[in-house]
Structure 1
């Protein structure tokens, strides 16, 4: 079987070893005579899966004991609403740093629950950079919200803003791709379908003290404390997605952990950005060099016809997912953890050949 090289932004590539492991266990999980999809979420067999996923995440991200780790549903999009629903109280303001489409959506949802402000933004240049901010003077408000990596525009925070307010981050597209200090944040959330597993599960890492600030009026199912008290088993969780998460996390651990993943991701991104920078303007990167993402490499060609030809010819070479988002145009290579160095070299070689044929 020849695997397609998958540069999709999400759902994204999964490690082949993980897929094969899931295939082996799909019909009969650990001699239960059932698929993991059929197990009761109250059974001992599933409880082991559930707890393993949590413990691996805690280990890999070095999550302190004063944080809750939750497995929720609804994607990051539900978190856009849950966060202000729980933590934006009357008379307070939620502050946002706008760096792309997803931070726009988070802001839009928050406006329905209370006062908001845009503390900083890079919208003036089509979100091509991460704003330089000093948030230390920001002392009045409910929280400060950022999006750590911007899939559409190909930008990424290199260092995070310091603030006395609770710092909340959407890390859907770069969680587990590099080492971070979890204690800098009061709440981290991430849809799994980039680096963690298949779609259907959302990871939330929340400081326990923050949960004490939940609004009493929030429906029980939408309170973080509800899920924390129930160990993410308040209602039927996405059991298969959590099983896949545990396999992915174990794979990351066996491959050297987050530190090793970070080194690979730096190397992968370097291969593609070097190709862009050495093309003499044939390929033009969208993101400013100091804000370039190691997860989503965005670039444009001279016109739409050439871009369409690039994407189509790449498909013939079994490389998919390279069409850019309409907000930027051009192309985008999403190179999450499961995309290999060899995959990126294959794309770089194709880019050089395509340039030679079309200059």
Structure 2
């Protein structure tokens, strides 16, 4: 049995206070707090090791390499993949751009996505070819039947998010993967927001690519994972070359690429961040992603039920009947003002703005929103505190 206290004591930032009270961190969709073992691992690497990996025959290099590759094994287990299918990157955005570069997209090609997407799952496609977003249905989910109509012989990829960073809706990506397989189009899943909330099984999904970031799953910034099936990874062109990605370089500049995943990891990687990710994954393994999902499901129910009771304040897709993670975005408030007041007067950390989701906001005729995003170390008491604060402030912050 895991209590809120047990969860919270593993995250040192939660010990900070505001006017004698513990701060309330409701900005987990931007980045999660860092687990104490992650912090220790990163500090330990820099203070006790600091060596490069895969290139030295001394024990510091071997020690760092061993931990680095242990993380690859752990990430493979986490995603139900093989280690050859796990590429370490600098984050979800970098991972998506590797695929966008590797597909060698041309004028006339198109990529099908949705208006629910984070900018990082729009711009890499739209900057290279035609981007074709589907609308959302009444539950705030991408319209899969519209996607079927948009996909044609020039469609090179479907790129869809698993969990919205604005509304928290969980997209049933298995359905999208089945559609992709039916139509013979590869599919990429943006799992940045999903990775720390729900189980990710790439084999069950049937996806070709999946991208995630360490910093949204209790790990450090500057590190991410690109999963690609062996076939899908080998089909990509390698556009970023350098040391580590090749087995031999000839005098005239020709080279022999290493096999996957190494060909996509040129240069010195974010070693410390990968070592930190290893500890974040270890933590998730230790308590079980199911435990986190269950706690967050309870938080989500409380969050939506409670905030449905604030007269005069509305949140996106409040009538949606599909599963969600505990993220809520209030629509008829001045997000920048609300965020500042909640932070300075109440010690509640939230996020105001468009959350890197302009198309979603524009589809709802909004320019911004106030987002509250929770995780398993948050509590129902904190939800009540935020509710009470917004109840007091609603006449001031309402747009």
Task: Identify whether the pair has TM-score above 0.5, normalized to the shorter chain.
Answer: yes
| 1:24-43 alignment, distance < 5 Å | 26=43, 35=47, 38-42=50-54, 43=61
State whether structure 2 residue 227 is matched by structure 1 residue 205: yes
Query: Does the residue aligned with 2:210 lie in a helix, a strand or coil?
Result: strand
Query: Does the residue aligned with 1:96 lie in a helix, a strand or coil?
Result: strand
Q: Alpha carbons of 1:80 and 1:266: their partners in 2 closer, same or farther (altered >3 Å)?
A: same
Q: Contact 1:155/1:293 (CA < 8 Å) preserved in 2?
A: yes
- How far apart are 1:2 and its partner, in Å? 3.0
- How far apart are 1:210 and its partner, in Å? 0.8
Partner residue, 1:99: 115
Distance in 1 between residues matched to 2:303 and 2:107, nearest whole Å: 47
Distance in 2 between residues matched to 1:83 and 1:324, nearest whole Å: 29
Q: CA RMSD in A?
A: 3.6
Partner residue, 1:47: 65
Distance in 2 between residues matched to 1:170 and 1:250, nearest whole Å: 22
- How far apart are 1:69 and its partner, in Å? 0.5
Q: Contact 2:86/2:225 (CA < 8 Å) preserved in 1?
A: yes
State whether structure 2 residue 115 is matched by structure 1 residue 120: no
Q: Contact 1:10/1:193 (CA < 8 Å) preserved in 2?
A: no
Distance in 2 between residues matched to 1:67 and 1:166, nearest whole Å: 19
- How far apart are 1:177 and its partner, in Å? 1.4
Distance in 2 between residues matched to 1:181 and 1:262, nearest whole Å: 15
- How far apart are 1:335 and its partner, in Å? 2.0
- TM-superposition CA deviations, 1:300-340 (whole Å, max 9, x none): 35x439x835751454332213434375534211224xx51
Q: Alpha carbons of 1:264 and 1:92: their partners in 2 closer, same or farther (altered >3 Å)?
A: farther
Q: Contact 2:35/2:219 (CA < 8 Å) preserved in 1?
A: no
Q: Alpha carbons of 1:226 and 1:297: their partners in 2 closer, same or farther (altered >3 Å)?
A: farther
Q: Contact 2:92/2:211 (CA < 8 Å) preserved in 1?
A: yes
Question: Which aligned segments of 4 or more residues in structure 1 are displaced greater than 6 angstroms?
Answer: 222-225
Distance in 2 between residues matched to 1:357 and 1:111, nearest whole Å: 40
Distance in 2 between residues matched to 1:356 and 1:259, nearest whole Å: 36
Q: Alpha carbons of 1:41 and 1:87: their partners in 2 closer, same or farther (altered >3 Å)?
A: same
> Gapped runs of 5+ residues in structure 2?
1-14, 18-22, 55-60, 247-256, 356-360
- How far apart are 1:72 and its partner, in Å? 1.1
State whether structure 2 residue 257 is matched by structure 1 residue 245: no
> Gapped runs of 5+ residues in structure 1?
none
Q: Alpha carbons of 1:145 and 1:37: their partners in 2 closer, same or farther (altered >3 Å)?
A: farther
Partner residue, 2:198: 178
State whether structure 2 residue 241 is matched by structure 1 residue 230: no
Partner residue, 2:316: 286
Aligned match of 1:2 in 3, 16, 25?
A: 16
Distance in 1 between residues matched to 2:260 and 2:284, nearest whole Å: 25
- How far apart are 1:202 and its partner, in Å? 1.7
- How far apart are 1:356 and its partner, in Å? 5.8
Partner residue, 1:190: 212
| 1:299-314 alignment, distance < 5 Å | 299-301=330-332, 303-304=333-334, 308=337, 311-314=340-343
Partner residue, 1:109: 124
Query: Does the residue aligned with 2:302 lie in a helix, a strand or coil?
Result: helix
Partner residue, 2:382: 346
Aligned match of 2:101 in 77, 85, 96?
A: 85
- How far apart are 1:92 and its partner, in Å? 7.2
Number of aligned residues: 337
- How far apart are 1:176 and its partner, in Å? 3.4
State whether structure 2 residue 108 is matched by structure 1 residue 72: no
- How far apart are 1:159 and its partner, in Å? 4.3
Query: Does the residue aligned with 1:143 lie in a helix, a strand or coil?
Result: strand
Distance in 1 between residues matched to 2:223 and 2:300, nearest whole Å: 27
Q: Contact 2:92/2:224 (CA < 8 Å) preserved in 1?
A: yes
Distance in 2 between residues matched to 1:310 and 1:78, nearest whole Å: 29
Partner residue, 2:9: none
Q: Alpha carbons of 1:349 and 1:11: their partners in 2 closer, same or farther (altered >3 Å)?
A: closer
